[in-house]
Chains A and B, each alone.
Chain A
């Protein structure tokens, strides 16, 4: 496993919508490198035949709800925490393009 470098930290920061200054990039690259080095001990284990655990209750499957209406919030409640709103909508800086 390669240790994390500054470019990777920048890439990951961008993916996470975080902007880091140079000091932070240096600090985090070092700290993350140390952490990843420690974590790399997982490589000592052979897990080729091991199934993965993405849910810790393996017997719990097929949990569903019926197609019946539940409680919705009123528009006022939905918008109560909005930092900016207009006419029943959440308002944000203009979005320029599609996804």
Chain B
């Protein structure tokens, strides 16, 4: 039976599309629930065991997903005017978002491989460029000074052993630290 809703909302597929996030969370909860069930073999006799709490939380998570799906279903039925269905957040530029997320992931990989100094400098340049800083001189100056100041604070003052990178990059970072009098 088709869902009786406002215009453009008649198909159950559109409802399923609306709750795609909820369905994803529900599926993951179900998967982890099956994993948690495997922990029951570690339960001492007469005790709840290590599987009890994760299973309980996942069960309630699935119930939460059901409630959310129900809320979405009833809100669809209530809504009659299209203007009521305004988005919570303003529209996003998904290309820009994807690049920014990619840069964050690359920054973490870079910290491990080429060291914090180089990774941070490159990350600042690229991220600020993607975020909309157009002029080259302020971009490079901010990234350069920012990296130096951060290194001074965390390496020289706080003595935080920020990653130096692997192989040649480790040697390069040490060389740059020496030039900057950080070690």
Decide if A and B are genuine partners.
no
